[in-house]
């Protein structure tokens, strides 16, 4: 006999522990949550939208009702990702941008403005790193990693801030990394850049709170994307071994956290850093 239920619920096996919670619990957590986190009437920018976590983020935000502009340096993949979203009956467009190039960001902003779009949500997802001992890094590599992972989010955020401040409403979400919270062996400068993105998030959150703009950070642990596929197999296996949940994250699981920070459900949360890593890092 299930607690609180006199009659079995149709469609559930006898003795199903979710019976006590009713049919919606058995139907699954994710669809119910997505139904709440709606972004109808909103416009979102997603950098790095052509691949991996950025693409999954664009899909999640569009599925929640937003018009999504995917910005990426990879034009063909970006166009394909936007077309895939439209194929699902959602709204998306691709605009080329190199987030390390101020002129390209300016052109990106003008292109978005030319479409008469007010940007409500900026998701900074574009990023990159490579595992290599610090002493073998070149100074060109340092600059590339810092330009992309730290200066990119700073410059893209700045480009779309004026409209948000005028409207006194907005959401800025940056995908950093657990590397930026706890350090990662062989990713020294990447960790520094991501740590900078986390500090940028916290400081900007203080400045923009008066404008009703939320600024938050999502820190993925090892996630199954093309970026991670470039990492040697032995490293990927080690990542799984040290993760309490014993697997890599799926891009959609990171996207769900970005969706939360982009939605009204997080209106009173700002300057926060959410690790989505299967328990890999637990820092108080």
Ligand X SMILES: NC(=O)c1ccc[n+]([C@@H]2O[C@H](COP(=O)([O-])OP(=O)(O)OC[C@H]3O[C@@H](n4cnc5c(N)ncnc54)[C@H](O)[C@@H]3O)[C@@H](O)[C@H]2O)c1
Instruction: Decide if 245 contacts 275 (C-beta within 8 A).
Output: no
Instruction: Give 219: exposed, middle or buried? Use CB within 10 Å, 0-12, 13-18, 19+.
Output: buried
Q: Does 100 bind ligand X (CB under 6 A)?
A: yes
Alpha helices in the chain (DSSP H): 23-27, 29-36, 52-63, 75-87, 102-114, 139-146, 152-159, 161-167, 179-182, 188-208, 226-229, 233-242, 251-262
Applying CB under 6 A, the span of 50-58, 108-116, 130-138, 209-217 interacting with ligand X comes to 50-58
Distance of closest approach, residue 116 Cβ to ligand X, in angstroms = 24
Q: Does 128 bind ligand X (CB under 6 A)?
A: yes
| Residue 29 is among the residues annotated as catalytic for this protein | no
Q: Does 208 bind ligand X (CB under 6 A)?
A: no
Give the contacts of 19 (CB within 8 A, at least 6 positions apart).
2, 5, 8, 9, 12, 26
Q: Does 238 bind ligand X (CB under 6 A)?
A: no
Applying CB under 6 A, the span of 3-11, 22-30, 97-105, 137-145 interacting with ligand X comes to 97-105
Catalytic residue among 190, 200, 239, 261: 190
Cα distance from N-terminal residue to C-terminal residue, the chain: 41
Q: Does 222 bind ligand X (CB under 6 A)?
A: yes
| 243-264 as b/e: b if 16+ CB within 10 A | beeeebbebbbbbbbbbbbbbe
Q: Does 170 bind ligand X (CB under 6 A)?
A: no
Q: Does 120 bind ligand X (CB under 6 A)?
A: no
Among 39, 46, 60, 72, the residue binding ligand X under the rule CB under 6 A is 72
Q: Does 154 bind ligand X (CB under 6 A)?
A: no
Q: What string marks each residue from 24 to 43 as x (binds ligand X by CB under 6 A) or -? A: --------------------
Among 177, 216, 243, 263, the residue binding ligand X under the rule CB under 6 A is 177
Nearest CB to ligand X, comparing residues 12 and 74: 74
Q: Does 127 bind ligand X (CB under 6 A)?
A: yes
3-class DSSP state of 217:
strand
CA 74 to chain CA mean position, Å: 18
Q: Does 134 bind ligand X (CB under 6 A)?
A: no
d(CA 263, CA 252): 16
Q: Does 278 bind ligand X (CB under 6 A)?
A: no
Q: Of 217, 137, 148, nearest to 177 (Cα)?
A: 217
Q: Of 246, 214, 248, 209, nearest to 228 (Cα)?
A: 248
Among 23, 102, 226, 264, the residue binding ligand X under the rule CB under 6 A is 226
Q: Of 59, 44, 61, 195, nearest to 129 (Cα)?
A: 195
Q: Does 57 bind ligand X (CB under 6 A)?
A: no
Among 19, 43, 51, 263, the residue binding ligand X under the rule CB under 6 A is 51
Distance of closest approach, residue 234 Cβ to ligand X, in angstroms = 15
Q: Provide the token pair at 176.
A: 């950093």
Q: Residues with catalytic annotation?
A: 190
Residues in contact with ligand X by CB under 6 A are 47-48, 50-54, 72-74, 97-100, 125-129, 148, 175, 177, 220, 222-223, 225-228
């Amino acid at each position: 006999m299930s607690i609180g239920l006199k009659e079995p619920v149709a469609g559930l096996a006898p003795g199903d522990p979710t019976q006590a919670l009713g049919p919606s619990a058995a139907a699954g957590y994710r669809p119910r949550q997505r139904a709440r986190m709606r972004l109808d009437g909103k416009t979102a920018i997603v950098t790095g939208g052509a691949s991996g976590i950025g693409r999954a983020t664009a899909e999640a935000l569009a599925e929640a009702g937003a018009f999504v502009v995917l910005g990426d340096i990879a034009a063909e993949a970006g166009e394909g990702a936007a077309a895939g979203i439209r194929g699902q009956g959602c709204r998306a467009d691709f605009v080329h941008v190199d987030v390390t190039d101020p002129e390209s960001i300016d052109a990106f902003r003008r292109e978005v403005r030319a479409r008469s779009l007010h940007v409500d949500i900026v998701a900074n997802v574009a990023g990159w790193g490579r595992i290599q001992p610090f002493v073998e890094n070149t100074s060109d590599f340092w600059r590339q990693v810092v330009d992309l992972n730290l200066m990119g989010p700073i410059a893209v955020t700045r480009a779309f801030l004026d409209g948000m401040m005028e409207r006194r409403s907005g959401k800025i979400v940056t995908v950093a990394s657990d590397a930026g919270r706890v350090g990662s062996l062989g990713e020294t400068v990447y960790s520094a850049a991501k740590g900078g993105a986390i500090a940028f998030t916290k400081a900007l959150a203080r400045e923009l709170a008066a404008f009703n703009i939320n600024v938050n950070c999502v820190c993925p642990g090892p996630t199954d994307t093309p970026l991670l596929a470039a990492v040697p197999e032995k490293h990927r296996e080690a990542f799984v071994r040290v993760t309490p949940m014993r697997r890599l994250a799926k891009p959609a699981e990171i996207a769900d956290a970005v969706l939360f920070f982009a939605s009204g459900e997080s209106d009173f949360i700002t300057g926060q850093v959410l690790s989505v890593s299967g328990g890999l890092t637990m820092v108080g």
